[in-house]
C-alpha cells in the first residue's frame, strides 16, 4: 500500500521533532539501519559518502546553496565546507525517507516562487549571494526552509559517517573535542571529584 504524502503541517511537525529525544528513540531502528548502510556503502565510513544517492544533481545544487546561506563559510567553516549536502541526501534516502515527497514538493515550490520573484533565467543556486540572502529572508517562514535549516544544523554536528561534518569541521565550529576519553583534571567544576563511590548499603559491581 502506497504511503500517503504528509501535509505541510505534518511535515513541519516531523522536522520539528527531528532532533528531539522522542523522535530519535522512536526512529532508532531506522537510524541504526542507516548507519549500518553508511558503514557498508563502499566509502570510507569515517569520511562519509561522497556521492549523491537520493537527490538529483539539480536538487542538490539548490539545497546546497540554501544550506550555504544558512551557515556560510569564510573565516570559519560553513555548511558547504562541511559537505552538509551529503548528510541531507543520506537522511532523505534512509531514516527521513518518509518525508522525501514533501521535501521535493517544498523544493519545487521554493524554486517556482523564486522564479516568479526574480525571473526564470537562472535558478536560486546561480544567483549572487546577496540576492540569495534577500530571497531567504522572504522564504524563511516556510516549512521547506525550516526543514533545510534543521537538516543543515544536524549535518554539521552528526557523525561524519552519515555525511556532513566533513573533517569534523562542524564540531570544530562549535568547539567539540573529538576524543574517545579524557583524563583528569577535567576542569574547575570537578577538580575535587574523587570518582564514583558506591552508595551506602550497596555492594560494588563485579563482572
Phi and psi, residue 36, nearest 5°: -65, -40
The alpha-helical segments, DSSP class H, found in the chain are 8-16, 21-26, 28-39, 57-70, 84-92, 100-118, 129-139, 143-157, 169-174
Q: Where are the domains of the chain?
A: 8-190
pTM score of the predicted model: 0.65
> Residues 6 or more apart from 72 whose CB is under 8 A from it?
78, 79, 129
How many Å apart are CA 141 and CA 207, to the nearest integer? 54
Q: How far is CA 81 from CA 10, 45, 144, 156, in A?
A: 31, 18, 22, 10
Using only C-alpha atoms, what is the Rg of the chain? 21
pLDDT in tens, 34-68: 444 444 444 454 556 678 999 999 999 999 999 99
pLDDT (0 to 100) of residue 23: 46
- CA 107, distance to chain mean position in Å, is 17
**Average pLDDT value over all residues in the chain:** 75
pLDDT in tens, 158-176: 777 778 766 777 767 766 6
How many Å apart are CA 186 and CA 73, to the nearest integer? 32
Amino acid at each position: 500500500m502506497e504511503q500517503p504524502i504528509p501535509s505541510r503541517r505534518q511535515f513541519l511537525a516531523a522536522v520539528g521533532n527531528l532532533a528531539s529525544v522522542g523522535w530519535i528513540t522512536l526512529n532508532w531502528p531506522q537510524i541504526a539501519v542507516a548507519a549500518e548502510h553508511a558503514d557498508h556503502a563502499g566509502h570510507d565510513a569515517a569520511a562519509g559518502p561522497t556521492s549523491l544517492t537520493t537527490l538529483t544533481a539539480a536538487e542538490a545544487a539548490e539545497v546546497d546553496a540554501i544550506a550555504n546561506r544558512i551557515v556560510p563559510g569564510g573565516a570559519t567553516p560553513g555548511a558547504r565546507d562541511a559537505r552538509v549536502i551529503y548528510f541531507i541526501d543520506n537522511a532523505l534516502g534512509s531514516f527521513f525517507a518518509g518525508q522525501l515527497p514533501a521535501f521535493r514538493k517544498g523544493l519545487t515550490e521554493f524554486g517556482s516562487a523564486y522564479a516568479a520573484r526574480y525571473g526564470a533565467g537562472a535558478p536560486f543556486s546561480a544567483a549572487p549571494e546577496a540576492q540569495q540572502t534577500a530571497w531567504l529572508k522572504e522564504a524563511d517562514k516556510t516549512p521547506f526552509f525550516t526543514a533545510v535549516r534543521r537538516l543543515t544544523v544536524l549535518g554539521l554536528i552528526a557523525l561524519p559517517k552519515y555525511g556532513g561534518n566533513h573533517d569534523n569541521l562542524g564540531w570544530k565550529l562549535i568547539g567539540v573535542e573529538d576524543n574517545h576519553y579524557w583524563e583528569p583534571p577535567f576542569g574547575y567544576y570537578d577538580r575535587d571529584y574523587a570518582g564514583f563511590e558506591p552508595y551506602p548499603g550497596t555492594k560494588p559491581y563485579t563482572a
